[in-house]
């Protein structure tokens, strides 16, 4: 089931951004494990730069589901050449959360994705 979940996330990201995954994404794109504070979970993605003008960075906060692919509970996108994007959502009773970063480089149209290690948080 885990492979299907990851595969669905990758396919969904490439469908949104189009293009192919960059081989050097590890050098410039990261998805940090979600953090918890005051009943909220925050996902953060960082893009090193400068990247070409028009590069779009998105971060999604995902929560694992036992029978379905990971569910996106929050997303935020920003067009930039370098920097970080974060998104926050309230925590349910308990959840296994992960961050999913995707970037589409301006000009070339190449897309790259990264998923963080999961973190479990409860109220």
* Residue with more model confidence, 36 or 123: 36
Q: Express each pLDDT in 68-91 by its tens digit.
A: 999 999 999 999 999 999 999 998
Order of strands across the sheet that contains 29-37:
29-37, 40-47, 83-90
For the ranges 26-30, 74-78, 109-113, which has the lowest average pLDDT?
26-30
Q: Is the predicted pLDDT of residue 62 greater than 80, yes or no?
A: yes
pTM of the model: 0.77
Which residues span the domain enclosing 88?
Answer: 2-122
pLDDT for residue 109: 83
CA atoms 9, 30, 75, 70: torsion sign = positive
How many domains, the chain? 1
Question: What's the pLDDT band for 107 if we cut at 50, 70, 90?
Answer: confident
Q: Which CATH number is 96's domain given?
A: 2.60.40.10
pLDDT, averaged across the chain: 84
What 3-state DSSP class applies to 33?
A: strand
């Amino acid at each position: 089931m885990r492979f299907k979940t990851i595969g669905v996330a990758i396919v969904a990201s490439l469908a949104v951004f189009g293009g192919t995954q960059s081989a050097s994404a590890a050098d410039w794109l990261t998805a940090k494990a979600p953090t918890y504070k005051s009943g909220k979970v925050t996902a953060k993605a960082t893009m090193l730069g400068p990247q070409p003008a028009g590069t779009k960075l998105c971060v999604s906060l995902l929560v694992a589901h036992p029978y379905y692919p990971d569910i996106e509970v929050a997303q935020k996108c920003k067009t930039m050449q370098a920097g970080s994007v974060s998104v926050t959502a309230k925590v349910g009773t308990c959840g296994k959360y992960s961050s999913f970063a995707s970037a589409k480089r301006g000009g070339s149209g190449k897309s790259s994705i990264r998923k963080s290690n999961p973190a479990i948080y409860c109220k």
